[in-house]
Amino acid sequence: MVKICPMCRSSRVDVWLGRGGGNMYKCLDCNYQGALIVDVDEENLKSINENRK
């Protein structure tokens, strides 16, 4: 599974432990920050990227 940004679908996402013990995420491409992230497997990631072209 790969974690991708819900905003720009980049896989360049940083993970850190937020307040209260929940994971927080930051996207290195669009600077999205939050607890919401999208999990996809690598095959789906490929098709997502192909669909963007």
Footprint on this chain of Zn ion (rule: CB under 5 A) = 5, 7-8, 10, 27, 29-30, 32
| Spatial distance between the Cα atoms of 28 and 38, rounded to a whole number of angstroms | 15
In the complex with Zn ion, the residue whose CB is nearer, 14 or 29, is 29
* CB of 21 or CB of 52, closer to Zn ion: 52
Half-sphere exposure of 26 (CA within 13 A, CB side): 6
Please, which residue, 30 or 45, has the CB nearer to Zn ion?
30
Q: How far apart are CA 6 and CA 9, in angstroms?
A: 6
In angstroms, give the least distance from the CB of 32 to Zn ion.
5
